[in-house]
Amino acid sequence: MSPDSVPVTLLQLYPEELGVAGDRGNVLALKSRLEHAGVEVTVVEHRIGDSLPTDVDLVLVGNGPLSAMRNVYDDLFSIGDHLRAYRSIDVPLFAYGSGAELLGHSIALPDGSTLDGLGILPFRAERVTERAVGYISVDTPFGRIVGFEDNASRWILDPEAKPLGILEVGSGNSAGSVEGVLDAGAIGTQLGGPALPLNPLLTDALIGFVAARRGFDYRPSDVNATVDRYATLAREVILANAKHVFSRI
Amino acid sequence: MSKSNGFQYFVPVLAGKVVRAAAKIRGGGSAFPGYVTTSLAPNFLRDVTGQFRYGIVYVLGSNGKSTTTHMLTEVLRGHGLRVFTNPSGANLPQGIASSILAESTVFGRLDADIGVLEVDEAFALEFARTVPPSTVLILNTQVDQLYRFYETERVADMMLDTAQQASKHIVTNREDPYLSKIARRYADGDATSGPDISYFGASDAVIAGSPHGLFNATDYRDAGIEAGQHVALAELTDTDRAGATIAVRGEPVDVVLPAKGLHYAIDAAAALATAAIILGDDFSAASASAAFAAMKPAYGRGELLAFGNEMVEFVMFKNAASLQLNLDALPEPPAQVLFAIDEGTPDISWIYDIDFSALDHVDVITGAKAWQIALCLELNGVRIGTVEPDLKTAIDLMRAMPKPASGMKTWIVNYEIMMLARKQIGFLELENQR
Ligand SMILES: [Zn+2]
């Protein structure tokens, strides 16, 4: 069961700059579930100027304002080859919001300029004037996931690319009735809340990618029962209240 | 004051007052009377407020507007000034217009020496064209209301642009990475005049003593620019459970705070810096101290309310910064805790950025976000008693618990829950008066 006693390494990119929307919660949810399953976890936080570890089992990046994206930009490009190398050996990825956009092809900004991305995720983003704010629900291959979206972005997927799921409530990619992008073990999404604590099935799917690659069996532990119950009830309330339109200006 | 006689306002003001009276009979205030008057007489607000000897002060910021407006108003009153101020939270242009109308004579007169207005940052720049400020106080920029503004620097720019509309004084936060750079907008920097720039702040020791600092937003846009050394007109040098010491032009002013928490002490420094720059030589440390000593706590900010034979201490928050600073201000983990958030705070993903180590447990979690909070606390290892989304039932559960040794129950709540909870325990009056 345990991955031959070598800990699982979670790599979180720019936890301050790209971590303004509770992205720490995604790391916490993964760590907690892995540890409950008897797997030792190491979390590596990558900051500007740090060097990357060679062995990484999952890469996470979160959301931040445009100024923060510009701030990490040079560092991100300097580690681009490392990140591409991880993907070439199927290291899974969970990217939320503007962190995901920096991993796409490009981001078209309101001033007419374009910010190039690393091209690791198969989509491009366009910042738009209309904001999408409120609860969101998406039917994914892993099951239904719910959360909160808050962005002013349109995500345009590459012709061959697959979305993370079909939109049930909310704006998602604001292009087609879909949300996010799913590329083998790599997920890009605008579903926050944060997503992983609220949706244990998505957390388990990511851990499943890690387990498959590392060659260990993963079965969620019974120790998660309380957390799972809270998550289920939180999701029920979110779905019930999803009709609320948050229109504070 | 442009035109001498006030007859031009007789009809529009009367119309506004009639609408206002009608709105009151229907129950509750309304911004509509302000709209009626301003559309009938667009110069009305400018002319009424233009009569004030010390002009108009805007209070802007991500957090603490109501508290600081209240503090500044009371300090100025403590110096003998007649102060006009808008009701707490009524900070949108029509709401402000409505309250100016309510206190004006039909001839467009309002007897006050100064106006102190809490203004919503999104509308402040536009409102400055109608009611030009003589002084603008900006409190802080926090990662807040991303659902409203998306980019933190957008909020900072709105406030900085508004500050530059001040005809006399800008007062701002030396410790805020965005706001402390305002002098860079002027060729003479801090020496600029018309408007001049003053700062409030906290000593290095005070900041170092705070577990999570001041929780102001990081300035990533101008991260490479050194903050610069600014002299603070009012500097917080010491704070404890009961109050704070703030050096104003180097002279220590002891203040009793209406609630504990570093952010309230900084708000007090902001109010004192603003009073000192407006009053000049007439500023008196003794009068300022006395004003703080007589001040009642604002709604939900450390307020104690009777709850049967016990007391409820309200700890109100509106964003990550205010929740964290309130938790940091708890002297020890409270014995009985209710924690509640409802849909009045749409996005609570930031609760995962909070350090909850100041709580060893929570007895009752309630509100529409109850299960989301429980999930976060459970993952963070905070012991949970009961999760009860219905507020009324949750309050009954708190009531049924034995009286704690402190005689006090701590309710950590967002604004909307605070208002509902007050009603539930029999405190019916509206938040309005300052
Ligand atoms: Zn207790």
Is there a contact between B147 and A248 if contact means CB atoms under 8 Å apart? Answer: yes
Cross-chain Cβ contact A66/B151 below 8 Å: yes
Q: Check A70 against B221: CB less than 8 A apart.
A: yes
Interface probe for A, chosen from B144, B352, B355 (most Cβ of A below 10 Å), is B352
Residue A249 has pLDDT above 50, yes or no: no
Q: Token pair for residue B324?
A: 């964290």
Distance from CA of A177 to the nearest CA of B (A): 22
pLDDT tens column, A51-73: 999 899 999 999 998 889 999 99
CA of B343, closest CA in chain A: separation in Å? 9
d(CA B432, CA B409): 25
Q: Report pLDDT for B227.
A: 65
Give B-chain residues touching A70 at CB under 8 angstroms.
220-221
pLDDT digits (tens, 9 = 90+) for A149-158: 999 999 999 9
Among candidates A227, A230, A249 on the partner chain, residue whose Cβ is nearest the Cβ of B122: A249
For residue B30, is pLDDT > 80? no
Look at residue B38 and tell me whether its pLDDT is greater than 70.
Answer: no
Verify whether the Cβ–Cβ distance A230 to B146 is below 8 Å. no
A227 against B224, higher pLDDT = A227
Residue scoring higher pLDDT (B371 or B221): B371
**A150 to chain B: which residues are within 8 Å by CB?**
146-147, 150, 347
pLDDT of A78 = 97
User: Do the Cβ atoms of A197 and B375 come within 8 Å?
Assistant: yes
Q: Contact, B236 vs B225, CB < 8 A?
A: no
Instruction: Please report which confidence band the pLDDT of residue B152 belongs to, taking 50, 70 and 90 as the band edges.
Output: confident
Look up the ipTM and state it.
0.95
Inter-helix orientation angle A200-214/A225-241, to 10° = 130
The chain-wide mean pLDDT, for chain B, equals: 87
Reported as a single tens digit per residue, the pLDDT across A205-224 is: 999 999 999 999 999 999 89
Mean pLDDT confidence for B237-241: 87
Sheet order of strands, B56-60 included? B83-85, B114-118, B56-60, B135-138, B169-173, B196-202, B234-239, B243-248, B251-256
The per-residue pLDDT for B6 is: 64
What is the pLDDT at residue B219? Answer: 83
Q: What is the pLDDT of residues B41-74, one digit of tens each?
A: 668 888 888 889 999 999 999 889 999 999 999 9
pLDDT tier at A247, thresholds 50, 70, 90: very low
Distance set, CA A174 to CA A2, A97, A106, A177 (Å)? 41, 13, 16, 7
Better pLDDT: B427 or B166: B166
What is the percentage of chain B residues whose pLDDT exceeds 90? 56
| B122-126, B153-157, B161-165: least confidently modelled range | B153-157
Selecting from A17, A29, A192 the residue whose C-beta is nearest the C-beta of B349 gives: A192
Q: How far is CA A16 from CA A220, B19, B129, in A?
A: 30, 50, 38
Can you give the length of chain A in residues?
Answer: 249
Structure tokens at B264: 């309230």
List of chain A residues whose C-beta atoms are within 8 Å of the C-beta of residue B386: none
- Has residue B381 got a pLDDT over 60? yes
**Does the CB of A148 have a partner CB in chain B at under 8 Å?**
yes
- Please check the confidence at residue A246 and state whether its pLDDT lies above 90: no
Q: Quick check: B376 and A197 CB within 8 A?
A: yes
Long-range contacts of B327-333 (CB under 8 A, 24+ apart): B327/B354, B327/B355, B327/B356, B327/B358, B327/B359, B327/B412, B328/B210, B328/B211, B328/B212, B328/B261, B328/B262, B328/B358, B329/B260, B329/B261, B329/B262, B330/B358, B330/B359, B330/B410, B331/B241, B331/B260, B333/B358, B333/B359, B333/B360, B333/B361
Q: Among A24, A150, A194, whose Cβ lies nearest the Cβ of B146?
A: A150
More confident residue, A159 or A20: A159
Looking at chain B, the whole-number percentage of residues with pLDDT higher than 70 is: 86
The larger pLDDT score, comparing residue B33 to residue B391, is at: B391
CB < 8 Å to B122, chain A: 249
CB nearest A241 (choices: B368, B380, B387) = B368
Q: Residue B49 has what pLDDT?
A: 86
Written as one letter, the residue type at B355 is D
Q: Which residues of A touch B152 (CB under 8 A)?
A: 65, 67
Does A137 score more than 60 pLDDT? Answer: yes
Average pLDDT over residues B340-356: 94
Q: Determine the distance in angstroms separating the CA of B422 from the nearest CA of chain A, rounded to an integer.
A: 24
pLDDT value at residue B308: 83
Mean pLDDT, residues A74-92 taken together = 97
Query: What DSSP designation does A26 have?
Result: H
Collect all residues with Cβ–Cβ distance below 8 Å to B185 and sequence separation of at least 6. Answer: B160, B164
pLDDT of amino acid A21: 86
Per-residue pLDDT tens over the stretch B85-115: 998 878 888 888 888 888 888 777 888 999 9
- Are A203 and A30 in contact, with CB atoms under 8 Å apart? yes
Q: Is the pLDDT of residue B161 over 70?
A: yes
pLDDT band at B307 (very low <50, low <70, confident <90, very high): confident
User: What's the gap in Å between the CA of B233 and the closest CA on chain A?
Assistant: 31
CA separation for the pair A243, A100 (Å, rounded): 27
Distance B333 CA to ligand 1 centre (A): 10
- Is residue B28 pLDDT above 70, yes or no? no
